[in-house]
Amino acid sequence: AARLKQGLSKSRNHMSKSLAGVFGGGKIDEDLYEELETVLLTSDMGIEATEHLLADVRRRVSLRGLSNADELRGALKDSLYELLKPLEKPLTLPENHAPENKTPFVIMMAGVNGAGKTTSIGKLAKYFQTQGKSVLLAAGDTFRAAAREQLQQWGERNHVTVISQASGDSAAVCFDAVEAAKARGIDIVLADTAGRLPTQLHLMEEIKKVKRVLQKSLPAAPHEIILVLDANIGQNAINQVAAFDDALGLTGLIVSKLDGTAKGGILAALASTHPVPVRYIGVGEGIDDLRPFDARAFVDALLD
Ligand code: GDP
């Protein structure tokens, strides 16, 4: 919990500074609600989430008969928690993905360049290994040599095999990786893909092809399709999630770089406009800076 608070300290400081005026405001009145509205909007929560939260806080205030501004904190925490709770759907690995079944659990990773995809794959490789799972990486971002090298380094740090080709297409590399995982009885395949912008339509076709080819290597694959989303891109996040979801059918998100933003409201915006389960959040560049998303812990870290 302390590590999470540390990771979210920028957002936490922003929130506590801007909310100090609200919670210290004496009586609950319209001015106070207006101030609260401004704070929520400047935290990247977006219009929908802000309106939802305001209405919900008002409801709680009247239900509980609150009149003092300092009692608003509790109401706001409860409202935010209820909004974010549906996003909390941790990734659970099904029992039948035991190595002896030769059916690896395949996780396809998507995201625009720079979102934190490769770093998140490195963190996940460590995370799954500490859970006793064997992992194999597929260097599916075949367009950038640097991406391949970076993944290779994460593979070395984690002592896991990286399936890579100097040339060739993304889908072929991912297919080979699943075949290798089957043959070696590996539990989990983490497949990197090229990080193109979703507006580049023909490139989006490329990533759809990766999905199709993965399905050919194993009927249930990819079991997870995760978009890595940079928490710093503000309301653009919504468009990005919608575009990738349209193209691929996302099963989850990793929201990266939450430590780098003072506006941790993006999760609330997602919850009220395009909810997709937030599997993990990234709160630093280090290999251990990945956390399963826990709505209660998140709200506490932000608002306590
Ligand atoms: P990719 O292009 O999507 O594969 O992005 P990278 O994994 O290469 O990450 C881009 C940059 O973001 C790198 O400098 C990473 O160290 C950094 N990064 C990734 N995740 C996080 C995070 O959770 N917090 C911080 N502070 N930096 C991150």
Contact 212, 247 (CB under 8 A): no
* Chain segment 12-53, per-residue pLDDT in tens: 898 888 898 888 878 999 999 999 999 999 998 999 999 999
Say what the pTM is: 0.94
- For ligand 1, the distance from its centroid to the CA atom of residue 16, given in whole angstroms, is 27
Q: Which residue has the higher pLDDT, 260 or 262?
A: 260
Rounded CA-CA distance 272/40 in Å is 14
Residues annotated in a binding site for GTP: 111-118, 192-196, 256-259
* Chain segment 56-68, per-residue pLDDT in tens: 999 999 999 999 9
Task: Classify residue 68 by its DSSP letter.
Answer: B
Q: Find the angle CA(236)-CA(237)-CA(238) to the nearest 5 degrees.
A: 90
Pocket test for ligand 1, best of 197, 285, 289, 290 (most atoms within 8 A of CB): 285
* Chain segment 59-110, per-residue pLDDT in tens: 999 999 999 998 999 999 999 999 999 999 999 887 655 556 678 999 999 9
- For ligand 1, the distance from its centroid to the CA atom of residue 114, given in whole angstroms, is 6
Ligand 1 pocket, residues with Cβ under 6 angstroms? 111, 113-119, 150, 195, 228, 256-257, 259-260, 282-285, 289
DSSP string, 171-235: HHHHHHHHHHHHHHT-SEEEE------TT-HHHHHHHHHHHHHHHHHSTT--SEEEEEEEGGGTT
**What ipTM was reported for this prediction?**
0.99
Rounded CA-CA distance 189/203 in Å is 23
Helix and strand totals (H; E) in the chain: 12, 8
Contacts of 132 (CB under 8 A, 6+ apart): none
Mean of all residue pLDDT scores within the chain: 92
Hey, what amino acid is at 173? V
Instruction: Tell me how long the chain is.
Output: 304
Cβ burial 200-213 (10 Å sphere, 16+ → b, else e): eeeebebbebbbeb
Question: Beta strands 290-292 and 278-282: pairing type?
Answer: antiparallel
pLDDT of residue 102: 73
Pocket test for ligand 1, best of 256, 279, 291 (most atoms within 8 A of CB): 256
- Model confidence at 137, pLDDT cuts 50, 70, 90, reads very high
In the structure encoding, which two tokens stand for residue 111, read together? 């995201």
